[in-house]
Amino acid sequence: EVQLVESGGGLVKPGGSLRLSCAASGFTFSNVWMSWVRQTPGKRLEWVGRITTLTGGGTTDYAAPVKGRFIISRDDSKNILYLQMNSLKTEDTAVYFCTTYNRYNALDFWGQGTMVTVSS
C-alpha cells in the first residue's frame, strides 16, 4: 500500500524558514517523480513544484510564486522527499501535500498534508 506521510509543518514568522519532509513507503520511491502541492485557507489548490528521478537527472521545476525561495530535494536511500522553504511570506500559509506522479503526469497518490502558518 502506498503511504506518504508529511511532517515538519508549524507556525513561522515572515522571513523565516521551514523544512517539510515526506516519508514514502509501499512503492519504489527512486523510480517515481514527486511533487508538492499546497492548499490555501480559501481551498485553492496550487502546484508548488516537482522533482524527477535522480537517474533522470533529479531535475526540479517550481511555480513562479516560490521560485528562488523553495527547494525540493529527495533522499532515495531514506525514501524521503523534502521541501526547504526560505524567506516565507504570509501568502505561503497553506496545507502542504506531497504527491506521486503517474506516467501520465497525474498526481495519483497524496499524503495527508501538513499545515504551515506564516504569521507574526
Nearer to other proteins, 13 or 103 (CB): 103
Nearer to other proteins, 83 or 111 (CB): 111
- Going residue by residue from 101 to 120, which x/- string records binding to other proteins, judged by CB under 8 A? -x-xxxxxxxxxx-------
| DSSP code string of 9-44 | -EEE-TT--EEEEEEEESS-GGGS-EEEEEE-TT--
Nearer to other proteins, 1 or 77 (CB): 1
Q: Are 5 and 101 in contact (CB under 8 A)?
A: no
Nearer to other proteins, 45 or 54 (CB): 45
Candidates 2, 11, 45, 54: give the one binding other proteins (CB under 8 A): 45
- Of 57, 118, 63, residue with least CA distance to 93: 118
Q: What angle do CA 50, 73, 54 make, to 5 degrees?
A: 80
- Going residue by residue from 11 to 40, which x/- string records binding to other proteins, judged by CB under 8 A? ------------------------x-----
Cell of 67: 521560485
Name the 3-class secondary structure at 103: coil
Candidates 97, 114, 116, 118: give the one binding other proteins (CB under 8 A): 97
**d(C-alpha 52, C-alpha 3), whole Å:** 19
Residues that bind other proteins (CB under 8 A): 35, 43-47, 50, 61, 63-64, 97, 102, 104-113
